[in-house]
Structure 1
Amino acid sequence: MTFSLDDALRLDAQDPLALFRDRFVTPDDDTLITYLDGNSLGRPPKATQERLNALLTGEWGSRLIRSWSEGWMDLPEQVGDALGEAALGAAPGQVVVADSTSVCLYKLLRGALALRPGRNEIITDRHNFPTDNYVVQGIADELGLTVRWIESDPGAGVTAEELAAELNENTAVVTLSHVAYRSAWIADMPALTALAHQHGALTVWDLCHSVGSIPVQLDATGADFAVGCTYKFLNAGPGAPAFAYVRASHQDSFRQPVWGWMGGDTPFAMQHAYRPAPGVRRVLSGTPPITGMIGVQEGVALVAEAGIDRIRAKGMALTDMVVRLADDWLVPHGVRIASPREPDRRGGHVTLTRADAEQLAQRLIDAGVIIDFRPPDGIRVGLSPLTTGFAETWRAMRIVRDFAAADRPAQSTLAEADVA
């Protein structure tokens, strides 16, 4: 049965998160039909705009350097604790907001490897996000380690069977994404973490496409380390600082490689010798980016207010609608659904593939339907529950249908059984 516009309008009317859309800045762009790329960059909250203005006139503008001792110094851990509670299932004292995702990942991987001396292998996914794989390759080259690549299904993700086949007594660290950036496959974090631990290895999880979109339970699943960005579903702004999670039981022995004064035990003592700060603060290196930190703080506050379970429920409903419409409207035109069909295995976006996806994506963007393209042939439809409605998504999918029907490439004239 076709999913109708009336169905979408009914879901909008019943949506308990509908009013949150008014809490975000409305774009001054008459050509924009709908924004379906919040899984890459979230919309700006009005509260962030107000806080940044207050920063310029108050904390920075009036209090100046005194603001460091009046609260700025504590923000990395304060915001980290709020994030841990709202979206990560992490008790206080284990999450800190620090550098970019790449830098945080480097620190955590190096620190985790140091906790497993004598082991010389890292396991990761061949189809993981490029920066993750680049960091892994760089560390392996730096330390003379071996990388064992899991050849996962690009339309899904790493399974327990695939990980078990690679684990051995030389495995030091397993690093994987919780939600695959291409397919939105949700990895079985508890099972994969338990497998790694059975072989004496540690886990470093990438939560970039999880945090603020689906519930995460780092403490309960036994995860050792985790990292994630804040500018997607947390709406913290372009280039906003990432976060790092270090399980409490590892903190006393954890040593990250980029020693900086903000990660020391007494930053303003100006000591010659470095001594790491107690707890998760030792992940820090340089001065915290206060403007970006404010974006994270306000984004986390919105997620906490909305509730991660309600966010997840709406996200599942949005992605389900997109999958149903794609089956009815797009599959007949050579489009394949390259995300899991089981809602509980699918994160906050749906990937559609066709040979001409790059050209089709650009035509959609030019028409005001903002999605993104991922090589070689994927269009990601990102559904951000706090800022995306059902009817606008339905209308956007109708435009996708019209473009796909008009521009179907010759190489897509496959048997329907091949693309269903």
Structure 2
Amino acid sequence: MCAAQHEIAYDRHRLRQWLDGEAKADGVTRRRLLTLLAATATATALPMGNPARAADSPIVKPTPPESFIQRGTNAETRWEALNGTGHHTPNALFFVRNHTATPVLDATDWRLRLWGDGLRGRPAEGKPVEFGYDDLRALPSVTRTAFVECAGNGRSHYATQQGQTVPGTPWTLGAVGVARWRGVRLADVLRRAGLSSCAVDVQPRGLDAEYVSGGENLGRVRRPLPLAKALDDVLLAYEMNGEPLPYDHGHPVRVLVPSWVGIASIKWVGDIEVSAQPLYSPWNTTFYRLFGPAYPQDGTAPLTRQTIKSAFELKSGATFTAGERQVLHGRSWSGAGGVVRVDVSTDGGTIWRRARLHDRPRSDTWTRWSVPWTPRTPGPTQLLARATDTAGRSQPDTAVFNTQGYLFNAVVRHPVTVL
């Protein structure tokens, strides 16, 4: 059975356990979780103050308007800023997704605590196992190229292309980036901490400020992972593109869960609960599940793998001169595997041409592509790109609606004008 099938079966089992009251919901009662689920579509979020931050901005690094679209505590990368930057997104251009404000933490004072009844001889409230920053760096390291993408990336297109209103940050397609991450395998750390054969879930928790949604203090951001995934390809990353992890991207250490929705890759990780029973938090019950007419009444299992998308390295509304040859560039990616084909239309979808791929298709990262174009007819038109991955998935014309606007995967219509 392939990994994706394992995940589907596991998540269905988790969902049944949660609905039957057989799982542990961290920090929120079952009754309160049901109330929150009923209010999901209308909930609003307000960040609490972060005493570790003195600056006015919630983001530490510069986010100039020519490179980013500011979205509250978040910053979306402009795709035109990525043109010519190479396969890896430069740290300075990498999007920022924060629930609150970026904490400024000192690596020398940082500790990672592992605790829970999924560790040998350590009950849930017993003495934790601790690792310092130097302890992690002394372990065998792994380097992996992988994308991180917010589950809501593309959310605004539910409204602009499909006329469907959804709440949440109105990302276009810039809430994604690819980096070369270096760190230690989470599996190695878990085994050194004394992983028990009874363990089923691990739940990393961040050190950013507590989060308030709909008037409810949900605590620090945390989201459980099934043990099978935690032992597979998950990293505790401390470097990004050859540099120490920047503050906005999780300094000193973050979790990296390749190909999964970005919320799984907890930033500023401070502790990890290792549990002998399934774990649930608001980030896999209230948030990051699919609700809507096409889904079960109680919602789907928690989101895991990302969907498939394509984007042009081009400003929305860009202008071109009729008769002048152009080369259009873009990138496509999928959580199910490498991208093996991209088809492009320059006339709104009437005629499609196959793009030239500039990268070998690889899992966990994107494929860059290009296609020549000599526009002939003056006036507005739309550029479209449709990707196909190694699992045989292609982008549809319309994304299936869900009430929180997650996982938009339809072909995006990129408006341009020929002069």
Q: What TM-score, normalized to structure 1?
A: 0.30
More strand by share: 2
The answer to which structure, 1 or 2, has the higher relative contact order (CA under 8 A, 6+ apart) is 1
Q: What TM-score, normalized to structure 2?
A: 0.30
More helix by share: 1
